[in-house]
Chain A
Amino acid sequence: MKRTGVFVCHCGINIAGTVDVKKVTKDLSKHKGVVHAEDYVYACSDPGQNIIIDAIKEKNLDSVVVACCSPTLHETTFRNTSKSAGLNEFQCEIANIREQCSWVHKDMEKATDKAIKIAKSAVQRVRRNEPLEPISVPVTRKALVIGGGIAGIQSALDLANTGFEVILVERAPSIGGHMIQLSETFPTLDCSQCILTPKMVEVSKHPKIKLMTYSEVQDISGYVGNFKVKILKKPTYVDPDKCTLCDECTKVCPVVVPNEFDLGLTGRRAIYIPFPQAIPATFTLDIKHCPGLLPIACGKCADVCEPEAIDYDMKPEIIEEEVGAIIVATGYDLYEKERLTEYGYGKYADVLDGLQFERLLSASGPTMGKVLRPSDRKEPKEVVFIQCAGSRDPELHCAYCSKICCMYTAKHAMLYKHHVPDGQAYVFYIDIRSGGKDYEEFVQRAVEEDGVLYLRGKVSKVFEDKGKIKVWGVDTLTGKDIEIDADMVVLATATRPSKGADELAKKLKIAMDRDGFLAEAHPKLRPVESVTSGMFLAGAAQAPKDIPEAVAQASGAAAKAISILSQEKLFHAPTVAKVNVNLCTGCGMCVEVCPYDALSLKDGKVEVNEVLCEGCGTCSATCLRAAINVKNLTALQVNEMIKAALGG
C-alpha cells in the first residue's frame, strides 16, 4: 500500500469560498492509503511548496495529490516540488477542484462533495502510478523550412545566421511567395520587391541554406529532434548551372499559357522564368504544358539553347534528409474564383482580385505600372473596391476575417489615385479594421488626402451594362441606395490556406483548425508551435497575416526551432503505451489505429517505440484484452477513478 499525501489548496477564497477545504482535508485523511492530509491558503506559494516538501520527508510519502487549480497551470510546479523532496515527479497528480469545481458551483455542500470525489479519484490514480524517467533522444542539428515566401525566408535566414543548417523547400520554381507579386506595401508604401529581393539573394548565397525549389515534401517520419524527410525534386529540364538567362528559348516556344505570376493577366511560355529576379535564376520547363519532351514533338527550345542547358532526360529525384525541427510556412491562396460568382469574378474581365490589382499597380507588371482595364486597356475612371469578398460571411463563404484586406484596399485605393489623379475610388466595407502601428493613420490618409469614398454597406449586385460594370449597393449609414457605373471592380477576396496545405498537414501529422489553417498548440501561449512537438508554424499558413506579423512569427518559429536544435539531448514525456506481453495475442488491432506508427508486431507481440508514442491511448481503447495501457493512466487506474468519482 502506498503512502499518499494530500494537499488541499484554498487559493485564497477562489476554492475555499465554495468548497469546504477543511472537510475535504478531513475526508481525504480517512481515505485508504492517505497518511497525510493538509490544507493551505496558497499551495503554489513558496511556503506552500515547503509544506509539501516537509511532509514528503517527515511522513516518508511516496506519492502526492495536490487538490488545487487546473493541471495545465501548476502540475509542473508541484511535480518539481515533489522532485526536490526526492520523490519521482510522476508520483504527483493534480485534482482540479477550482476550474472544474469551485468556480462553477455555488452550493457549498454539493461543491464540497464533488471536490472530495475529484480528490479521491486522483488519490486512486496515484496509488498505481509508477515512477517514470523522461525518455532521452539525441538531436539532429538541422532544420527543414517548408515554403519559400517571406515567412519561410525569414525563418531560414534566422536559423542559418544562428549557425544551423537549413533546408528550404519551395514547390514553385522560385522563392518569394506572394510578397514578390505585390507592388507596394502598407503602411509605408515600400516597394515590395525592393525589400524582399535582398533577403532572397541572401538565401541563395547563404552557405548554411540548401535551397530546394520546384520541390515538395513527400513523406515524413520520425519525431522531434529526429525527423526523416523525403523530398521530391521535380525536374525543371533546365540545368541552372549552364543556363545563361539569354531568353532565346521563350522566343521559340510555341505554347502560351496563363502566367501564374501575373494571375493570368499575361501569358507565359511552357519554358519560362517566373519573374526577372527569380531565385534560383534559371528557366523551368513546365512539362504539363510542353507539347512533348521528345525532340520529334517539338524540341525548339533545345535547338536554340546555345549553352545546352536543356536536358529532356532529367528525372524526378527523391532526396532524403534528416532534420531535428520543421517550420511550416506554406502561406495562403486567394478564395477560389468559382466560389465567388456573385460579384462577376471570373465572368467579367474588369472584375479583379486583390493580387491581380497588385500586378496592375506593379512597375514590373503586365501594364508596366499603368492602371489599365484588362478588357480594353483604357484607364478606369471609377473604381469600386469591395471588401470582405468571401470573408465574414458564415452563411455562404468564410466566417473569419481575412485581416489584411482593409489595409490593402486602402493602399489599393490610394495607389490608384496616385496613378489616376482624376479618377474616383469607392470602397464598400462592413467595418474598417486598422489595428496596427501607423495603420489607422494610413486609412485616414486615403480618405483625407486621396479622397477615397468609403461606403459602409454590402454590394447586392454587380453586372455588366454598356461597357460599364454596374455596382448596386446600399450605404447603411445614410440608408441610401448606391448605384455606381464603374470601369473596374476590385475584390478584397478572402485568404485561404494555400492549396495542398491540408495534404501536407496530414503528412506532417499536424492539426488544422475548422477553416483549414494550421492549428497552433495554444491560441495565446503557444502561438508558433504546432500540436506536434518539433514542428512550428510561421506566416499565413496559421491564420491570415500581414507581412510584419508573418515576419515576427517566422522569427519566433525560428527561435523555437533553435531551442530544440541547440540541445544535446531532448526529453520526451514517459507516459507512453506499455504492453503486457502475457495478455497480448498479437492481433495487431492497436498497430492499425496508432496515429503515430509507434506500434509494431515483433515475434507475435506488439512492441512500443517509446520515442514515437505520444501517449494518446487509442491503442488501449482498441485492445480487447486490455494488454496495452498508457503508463500512469491504465485501465485499472481509470476503473478505480470511476469508482471514486461515484462515491465508492
Chain B
Amino acid sequence: MAEEFEPKIVAFLCKWCSSAGSDLAGVSRMEYPPNVIPITVMCSGSVSPLYIFSAFNKGADGVLVSGCHPGDCHYIKGNYYARRRIALVKKLLEYVGLEPERFQMSWVSAAEGVKYTQVIKDFVQELKPLGPQKKLRRTQ
C-alpha cells in the first residue's frame, strides 16, 4: 500500500498573535501534525500575494495566513488589509483552477494555542484527499 500523502504547508504567522499562539501551543505541549513550516512575519498585512504565489510555485500543497483577530491587530489595521487582500487572492487562485481548500486564512490570538492546533489539524485533513498540488508548481 502506498504511503499516505503528507501535504507540505507554509504558514505565514504574524509575530504578535498567531506566532505567539503557536508558541503557546508549544508551551502547552499540544500535538499537531508536523506538515507545517511556519514563517513568522511582522503582520498578516505584510503578506504580499507574491508570497502566496511563490509558496505554491515552489511546491506547497497548502498555504495558511494567520493573524490577529479583526480589531485586535498589533498594528491597528494591518489584518483588515490582509483580509481584503486574501479574499482577492483566494478568488484569483480559484479562477486559475486551484482547489479553494488549499489556501486559508485564520485568526489566532496569542492566547489561542488550542485554536492554532485545531487550524493545523483541520488544514492537514482537508489537504490529504486533494493530493499534491500541481497546478501552480513550477515544473522541474
State the A residues within 8 Å of B (CB). 70-72, 96, 98-101, 103-107, 110-111, 113-114, 117-118, 121, 509, 511-514, 519, 523, 531, 593, 595-596, 614-618, 620-622, 626, 630, 633, 635, 638-639, 641-643, 645-648
Name the distance in Å between B32's Cβ and chain A's nearest Cβ: 6
B29, B59, B60, B81: the one within 8 Å of A104 (CB): B29
User: In the complex, A113 Cα to B36 Cα: how many Å?
Assistant: 11
Asked if B37 and A595 sit within 8 Å, CB to CB, the answer is no
Q: List, sorted by A's number, 15 A–B pairs whose CB atoms are closer than 8 Å.
A: A100-B23, A101-B34, A104-B29, A512-B71, A523-B110, A615-B42, A616-B42, A618-B78, A621-B45, A621-B48, A626-B48, A633-B42, A633-B46, A642-B51, A646-B60
A111, A596, A621, A641: the one within 8 Å of B81 (CB): A621
Asked if B34 and A111 sit within 8 Å, CB to CB, the answer is yes
Q: Is B22 part of the binding interface, using a Cβ–Cβ cutoff of 8 Å?
A: yes
Name the distance in Å between B24's Cβ and chain A's nearest Cβ: 8
Q: Is B38 part of the binding interface, using a Cβ–Cβ cutoff of 8 Å?
A: yes
Most buried by B among A511, A593, A621: A621
Asked if B34 and A511 sit within 8 Å, CB to CB, the answer is no
Asked if B45 and A114 sit within 8 Å, CB to CB, the answer is no
Most buried by B among A512, A633, A642, A645: A642
Inside 8 A of A105's CB, which chain B residues have their CB? Answer: 31-32, 34
User: In the complex, A593 Cα to B74 Cα: how many Å?
Assistant: 15
User: In the complex, A72 Cα to B111 Cα: how many Å?
Assistant: 15
User: In the complex, A70 Cα to B75 Cα: how many Å?
Assistant: 21
- Name the CB-closest residue of A to B37: A645
- Name the CB-closest residue of B to A512: B71
Asked if B26 and A99 sit within 8 Å, CB to CB, the answer is yes
- Name the CB-closest residue of B to A618: B45
Asked if A110 and B34 sit within 8 Å, CB to CB, the answer is yes
Inside 8 A of B124's CB, which chain A residues have their CB? Answer: none
Asked if A618 and B58 sit within 8 Å, CB to CB, the answer is no
B8, B37, B42: the one within 8 Å of A118 (CB): B37
Inside 8 A of A104's CB, which chain B residues have their CB? Answer: 25-26, 29-32, 34, 117
Q: Is B85 part of the binding interface, using a Cβ–Cβ cutoff of 8 Å?
A: yes
Asked if B48 and A635 sit within 8 Å, CB to CB, the answer is yes
Asked if B48 and A98 sit within 8 Å, CB to CB, the answer is no
- CB contacts under 8 Å to A, within B1-59, are 8, 10, 16, 19-20, 22-27, 29-32, 34, 37-43, 45-51, 54-55, 58-59
- Name the CB-closest residue of A to B57: A642
Question: Knowing A121-B39, A595-B78, A639-B51 touch, does A620 contact B26 (C-beta < 8 A)?
Answer: no
Most buried by A among B10, B22, B42, B60: B42
Q: Is B115 part of the binding interface, using a Cβ–Cβ cutoff of 8 Å?
A: no
Name the distance in Å between A584's Cβ and chain B's nearest Cβ: 16
Asked if A642 and B39 sit within 8 Å, CB to CB, the answer is yes
Inside 8 A of B25's CB, which chain A residues have their CB? Answer: 99, 104
User: In the complex, A641 Cα to B27 Cα: how many Å?
Assistant: 25
Q: Is B99 part of the binding interface, using a Cβ–Cβ cutoff of 8 Å?
A: no
* Pairs of residues from A and B, 7 with the lowest C-beta to C-beta distance, nearest first: A617-B46, A99-B26, A645-B37, A616-B75, A103-B26, A618-B45, A99-B23
- Name the CB-closest residue of A to B47: A621
Q: Is B77 part of the binding interface, using a Cβ–Cβ cutoff of 8 Å?
A: yes
Q: Is B69 part of the binding interface, using a Cβ–Cβ cutoff of 8 Å?
A: yes
Question: Knowing A635-B50, A648-B59 touch, does A622 contact B81 (C-beta < 8 A)?
Answer: yes
Name the distance in Å between B108's Cβ and chain A's nearest Cβ: 13
Name the distance in Å between A81's Cβ and chain B's nearest Cβ: 21
Asked if A595 and B42 sit within 8 Å, CB to CB, the answer is no
Inside 8 A of A596's CB, which chain B residues have their CB? Answer: 75
Name the distance in Å between A568's Cβ and chain B's nearest Cβ: 28
Asked if A509 and B76 sit within 8 Å, CB to CB, the answer is yes
Inside 8 A of B69's CB, which chain A residues have their CB? Answer: 514
A72, A117, A513: the one within 8 Å of B37 (CB): A117
User: In the complex, A72 Cα to B24 Cα: how many Å?
Assistant: 11
A101, A511, A621, A633: the one within 8 Å of B76 (CB): A511
Name the distance in Å between B76's Cβ and chain A's nearest Cβ: 4
Inside 8 A of B39's CB, which chain A residues have their CB? Answer: 121, 638, 641-642, 645
Asked if A646 and B23 sit within 8 Å, CB to CB, the answer is no
- CB contacts under 8 Å to A, within B68-93, are 69, 71-78, 81-82, 85
- Name the CB-closest residue of A to B51: A638
User: In the complex, A622 Cα to B81 Cα: how many Å?
Assistant: 9
User: In the complex, A593 Cα to B71 Cα: how many Å?
Assistant: 16
Asked if A595 and B34 sit within 8 Å, CB to CB, the answer is no
Question: Knowing A618-B78, A635-B50 touch, does A630 contact B31 (C-beta < 8 A)?
Answer: no
User: In the complex, A639 Cα to B22 Cα: how many Å?
Assistant: 22
Most buried by A among B22, B29, B37, B51: B37
User: In the complex, A638 Cα to B26 Cα: how many Å?
Assistant: 24
Name the distance in Å between A407's Cβ and chain B's nearest Cβ: 26
Asked if B10 and A646 sit within 8 Å, CB to CB, the answer is yes
B10, B16, B27, B81: the one within 8 Å of A618 (CB): B81
A96, A107, A626, A645: the one within 8 Å of B23 (CB): A96
Name the distance in Å between A520's Cβ and chain B's nearest Cβ: 11
Asked if A617 and B37 sit within 8 Å, CB to CB, the answer is no
Inside 8 A of B49's CB, which chain A residues have their CB? Answer: 621
User: In the complex, A298 Cα to B51 Cα: how many Å?
Assistant: 68
Inside 8 A of B43's CB, which chain A residues have their CB? Answer: 616-618
- Name the CB-closest residue of A to B72: A511
A70, A523, A616, A620: the one within 8 Å of B111 (CB): A523
